[in-house]
Structure 1
Amino acid sequence: MTRHPLRRLTVCALTAAVAVLPATAAAAHGGPGGHGLPSVRPRVETPPLRDDEAGGNADADDPAIWRNPADPDRSLVVATAKEGGLRVYDLDAEVVQSVPAPPGPGPDDAPGRFNNVDLVHGLRLTTGRADLAVTTDRGNDRLRVYRIDPASPGRPLTDVTDPAAAPVFSADQAEINEERTAYGLATWTDRTTGRSYALVSRRERTTLALLELTATAGGRVGYREVRTLDLPSSFRLPDGTSWSPCAEPGEAPQVEGMTVDPVSGVLYAGQEDVGIWRLRADLKGTPRLLDKVREFGVPGTYDEATEECVAGADPGYGGKRISTDVEGLTLLQGKGGAGRLLASSQGDDTFAAYDRDTGAGNAYVGGFRVTAASAALDGSEECDGAAVLNQPLGSRYPEGLLVVQDGHDAPGDGETAVTNFKFVDLGDVKDALGG
């Protein structure tokens, strides 16, 4: 397959001034830093994943929840484990299937590394309609697509990626090895056309790409680029100065957490060190900043010796509800346009909730923490990914389920990264947010 150059749409006007939507804080739910927020506790957790050779370089990142319509008790959670590939869990958080990430094309090339995952329901393939799990393979700069087969309880995922699928952003393998590759992901089915898409962000860049998923021969799935858009990397502050988040030289403020409202066709994208953007899922029009991280506008200098940023004085231009990195965006859908946008605030280990009603400006409505249920079942810290489903899932979760990544599963040895996923009863989350 011939790779075509990116058709890039740059939002130049946004680098000059930031349009921030109104967001009314709910004082009863706590102030800066998440103090006073209610807590919810997980019911179960998945087995730990270890990011070392003994653990298969597996690192939990992002989940998606697939509901089995014929038997909701047999619903599944599909989650990424980076170089460890995919894990499929049942509702008891037990492993059903492990799918390895593919190797790189050569011995000196990076191996597959699965970063984010989302679902597509009922895509028409040449072999019939199917539900799919779509993931970004950051190591190979491609999408990987897996058919979900509820009739195969031990191996529900089958790889149906078109072998001719081209890199998403890179021109060749040398560029892929630079690792500025496919990163965050959200799927979207346009209700007016019935076409399904993947929205993909680029690591260490501000680019978003809209890719249409296409059915190819033999029940395979490919994709084609529709358009791209660049979010800003620098911002005009109220005092007239220009600000960019501090980063290693050559890196731009990337996006990872994303979700699409299927009714309105609105994409929410978390630019990790900036805030949450609201824009059209077709990447047309002008993005608007829904909320900013607390660190927005804080000057910083990168120290090459320590490989860390040294922050200056806070000028007070940041938000009040989320702290860098902002990730783990997911949509709690209610009836008639009601619901909540949930966002992981890594900097203070909290989750922020915003009104789904875009006509009301996505007002902030509260937040919560996921805290330890017992000495053996800890909470969630530095959450990378989250997924919510507001539908009954049998006897275990009759009000629905929230799955969150835990970036510091306990107990750990203090040296190896140990991560996993926590399952939270959605009824508890609704209670924490006041319904």
Structure 2
Amino acid sequence: MRLLAIFGLGFLAACSGAPAVEITAVRETVAVASSGDAADDPTIWLAPDPLDSLVLGTDKQAGLYAYNLDGSIAQHIPAGRVNNVDLRYDFALPGPRRDIAVASDRTNIGLAVFLIDPETRHVEAWPTIPVADVADPYGACLYQSESGALYAFLTDKEPGTVVQLLLRYEGEGVISGTEVRRFATGSTTEGCVADDRTGRLYIAEENVALWSIGAEPDAGTELTHFADVDGRFLVADAEGVAIIPRGDAGGWLIVSSQGDSRYVTYDLDTGEPALRFAVVDGALDGTSHTDGLDVFPLPLGPEFPEGVFVVQDDEEDSGGQNFKLIDLRDIRAALSTAEE
């Protein structure tokens, strides 16, 4: 067990929630250029050489950043007010392989599209896919079906409408999004993540609950309760969600408990709480009031041999907003200890 990284699993008192384990960040990105409420949601792109991988992070006032793993800026893509970002690999296009990232686009009211060239690491913005009858695109995530079809989920901030789109290349530089399903939670909803292994979608209704539903378009519209925003384990707002996988179907759902600057995990099989933790000051400053987050569970070089947990930090020590990278081993160690 890596005791220095998790302070001997010492407990951190929470002002409104249950006790939390202390963990520290290993790396941080340069702050986004916009001031105030700006950085929002990250995801990790795996390069052919893992050391060349990128952290994609949204500046919800001014586009998308691509960061190197050391936190430096590799590229800034002006793309308007993009909020949540997710990606999948080897999108069906003619010619050389391209990977795809999408983001909720509040400027153009739809789904922003970016293609990534694995050879050059270059991120290219493509035309936004317009989405009808959506007022304020908020959350976004992708799902790769066993059939090979790629779907995007886009949430409308109020009243928590979720639109599922089938993404396809139509030729002549056009990627389309055909609506195949629409359902709603009932109130503000942003964070979502799809588990490609099991075909389940998990959604955070910020002040109410975590929900799950089948990710295939024929799975109906009835949501299944997963966990409550109870003010103790999970404190409103429930924001970013991601999955720490274990085996072919198991693992944990991890959620930002924004109201008390904590992160909470739930057993995917049972929905039972497993662990609460905080990212505290160490060599780098800790995190607070996190919006988006993501988990990448594969090796990314010597600093992240089992993967990385990346989170938005509402106020880093220079006063701006950036993204913090946490060694996934520390979280797995804390989960293992909590299971004993």
**TM-based fold match above 0.5:** yes
The whole-number CA distance in structure 2 between the counterparts of 1:47 and 1:168 is 35
Structure 1 gap ranges (5+): 1-27, 102-111, 171-179, 234-252, 296-319, 413-417
Aligned length: 325
Q: Which of 313, 323, 336 is the equivalent residue of 1:421?
A: 323
**By percentage of residues, which structure has more strand?**
2
Could you say what secondary structure the match of 2:255 adopts?
A: strand
Q: Which of 64, 72, 82 is the equivalent residue of 2:60?
A: 82
Which residue identity lines up with residue 150 of structure 2 in the other structure? S
Alignment of 1:323-402 (within 5 A): 323-357=235-269, 361-374=270-283, 377-402=284-309
Report Cα offsets for 1:73-121 as digits up to 9, x if no partner.
11111111112200001110111000012xxxxxxxxxx3000000021
1:35 is displaced (CA, Å) by 4.3
The whole-number CA distance in structure 2 between the counterparts of 1:76 and 1:209 is 28
Structure 2 gap ranges (5+): 1-10
1:66 maps onto 2:45 in alignment: yes
Pick closer, same or farther for the CA change 1:411–1:159 going to 2, 3 Å.
closer
The whole-number CA distance in structure 2 between the counterparts of 1:290 and 1:424 is 26
1:378 is displaced (CA, Å) by 1.1
1:129 is displaced (CA, Å) by 4.0
The whole-number CA distance in structure 2 between the counterparts of 1:152 and 1:96 is 11
1:275 maps onto 2:209 in alignment: yes
| Percent identity (aligned) | 33
| Greater gyration radius | 1
CA contact (8 A) 1:132 1:148 kept: yes
Report Cα offsets for 1:278-325 as digits up to 9, x if no partner.
111235152122111135xxxxxxxxxxxxxxxxxxxxxxxx310100
The whole-number CA distance in structure 2 between the counterparts of 1:354 and 1:208 is 23
Which residue number in structure 2 is paired with residue 12 of structure 1? none
CA RMSD of aligned residues (A): 2.1
The whole-number CA distance in structure 1 between the counterparts of 2:113 and 2:78 is 13
Question: TM (normalized to structure 1)?
Answer: 0.71
1:127 is displaced (CA, Å) by 3.2
Report Cα offsets for 1:216-259 as digits up to 9, x if no partner.
2135422111110022x3xxxxxxxxxxxxxxxxxxx2110100
Q: Which of 135, 140, 154 is the equivalent residue of 1:200?
A: 154
CA contact (8 A) 1:87 1:99 kept: yes
Q: Which of 65, 70, 78 is the equivalent residue of 1:100?
A: 78
The whole-number CA distance in structure 1 between the counterparts of 2:246 and 2:132 is 33
The whole-number CA distance in structure 2 between the counterparts of 1:58 and 1:131 is 29
Q: Which of 226, 229, 233 is the equivalent residue of 1:290?
A: 226
1:410 is displaced (CA, Å) by 2.2
The whole-number CA distance in structure 2 between the counterparts of 1:63 and 1:383 is 11
CA contact (8 A) 1:334 1:390 kept: no
Could you say what secondary structure the match of 1:61 adopts?
A: strand
Q: Which of 161, 175, 179 is the equivalent residue of 1:225?
A: 179
Report Cα offsets for 1:6-37 as digits up to 9, x if no partner.
xxxxxxxxxxxxxxxxxxxxxx9999944432
Superposition misfits of 4+ residues, deviation over 6 angstroms:
28-32
The whole-number CA distance in structure 1 between the counterparts of 2:221 and 2:38 is 36
1:58 is displaced (CA, Å) by 7.6
The whole-number CA distance in structure 2 between the counterparts of 1:39 and 1:391 is 23
